[in-house]
């Protein structure tokens, strides 16, 4: 599985509940950054990220936020803030790759450097782009994660 932002929290939960169904995981921009775990800080980081992403992404995000609605969006944010991915990662038995966009203001370098050692079989790489290199730098992103996804269990030391 490959996920971005809040999707990383979903993947971590899935990996805990169904470890036999998840061979590898890529967590790109894993939120919520424990060094900024408030709604206001997350919103501020989101605003700082806007000029770093590609313009077509704005339309996609605006459409998604409009469909979600204010109440559901607020509730989802509260769930994300309360979910402590750092408590789940040490219990994931599968290889996990954490990817951070070099210019990501939402997920700090300090945060991913805190998370990576928590993983029993984890690695960290820094990719081009900001919070969504999977969208803004797709070729670079795929090139960065492909070797990890192709590794066999033997090659990864498990």
Taking the whole predicted model, whether its pTM rises above 0.75 is answered as yes
Q: Is residue 158 one of the residues assigned to a domain? A: no
Q: Tokens 């806007």, residue?
A: 50
Residue-wise pLDDT tens digits, 47-94: 888 878 777 777 777 777 788 888 888 898 899 999 999 999 999 999
Task: Name the phi and psi angles at 128, rounded to 5.
Answer: -70, 155
d(CA 156, CA 129): 27
Count of the separate structural domains present in the chain: 1
Contacts of 53 (CB under 8 A, 6+ apart): 130, 131, 132, 135, 136
Q: Is residue 155 one of the residues assigned to a domain? A: no
Q: Name the residue range of residue 117's domain.
A: 2-150
Residue-wise pLDDT tens digits, 103-157: 999 999 999 999 999 999 999 999 988 888 888 889 999 999 999 999 865 565 5
Q: Is residue 105 one of the residues assigned to a domain? A: yes
Query: CATH number of the domain that 17 lies in?
Result: 3.40.50.1820
d(CA 147, CA 41): 34
Q: Is residue 74 one of the residues assigned to a domain? A: yes
Nearest to 99 by CA among 135, 133, 71, 65: 133
Q: Is residue 141 one of the residues assigned to a domain? A: yes
Query: How many other CB atoms sit within 10 Å of the CB of residue 61?
Result: 15
């Amino acid at each position: 599985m490959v996920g971005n932002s809040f999707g990383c929290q979903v993947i971590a939960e899935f990996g805990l509940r169904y470890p036999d169904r998840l061979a590898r995981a890529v967590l790109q921009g894993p939120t919520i950054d424990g060094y900024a775990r408030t709604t206001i800080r997350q919103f501020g980081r989101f605003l700082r990220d806007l000029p770093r992403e590609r313009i077509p992404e704005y339309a996609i995000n605006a459409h998604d936020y409009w469909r979600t609605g204010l109440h559901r969006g607020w509730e989802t944010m509260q769930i994300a803030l309360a979910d402590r991915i750092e408590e789940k990662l040490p219990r994931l038995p599968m290889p996990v790759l954490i990817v951070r966009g070099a210019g990501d203001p939402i997920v700090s370098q300090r945060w991913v450097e805190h998370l990576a050692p928590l993983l029993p079989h984890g690695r960290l790489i820094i990719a081009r782009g900001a919070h969504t290199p999977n969208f803004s730098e797709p070729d670079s992103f795929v090139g960065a994660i492909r070797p990890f996804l192709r590794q066999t269990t033997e090659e990864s030391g498990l």
